[in-house]
Amino acid sequence: MVDSLANTIYIFELKHHATAQQALIQIHDSGYMHKHLRSGKDIVLIGINFSSDGRNITDYLYEIYDTEGNKKHPIYIVDPEIFYIIWLSVINMLYLY
């Protein structure tokens, strides 16, 4: 799932009974980020795992890249919009299960 705001593109991979690390690996292996490198926007990769047992997020990881694909330090993620986007995405996924 991809969502875009004014200065940032968010790429989500949601996993069910797996790990957030596996989700990030899939984003990298699939080349999802490379499609957006020339967009002029920062890119945030978000891997989320959830459990249908508790209908809850069990773990999540994120990585932030600049417009040229250089990894940034996570401290750059100060925008509360990302947590709102994560929340809406996960709620939608949990609703489907």
- Enter the pTM of the model: 0.74
Q: Of 91, 86, 97, 92, nearest to 20 (Cα)? A: 86
The predicted-structure confidence for 37-79, as pLDDT tens digits, reads as follows 888 888 989 888 887 787 777 888 889 898 888 888 765 544 5
Of the ranges 12-26, 60-74, 76-90, the best mean pLDDT one: 12-26
Q: Which two tokens stand for residue 5?
A: 């705001």
72-32-86 Cα angle (round to 5): 65
Neighbours of 8 (CB within 10 A): 19
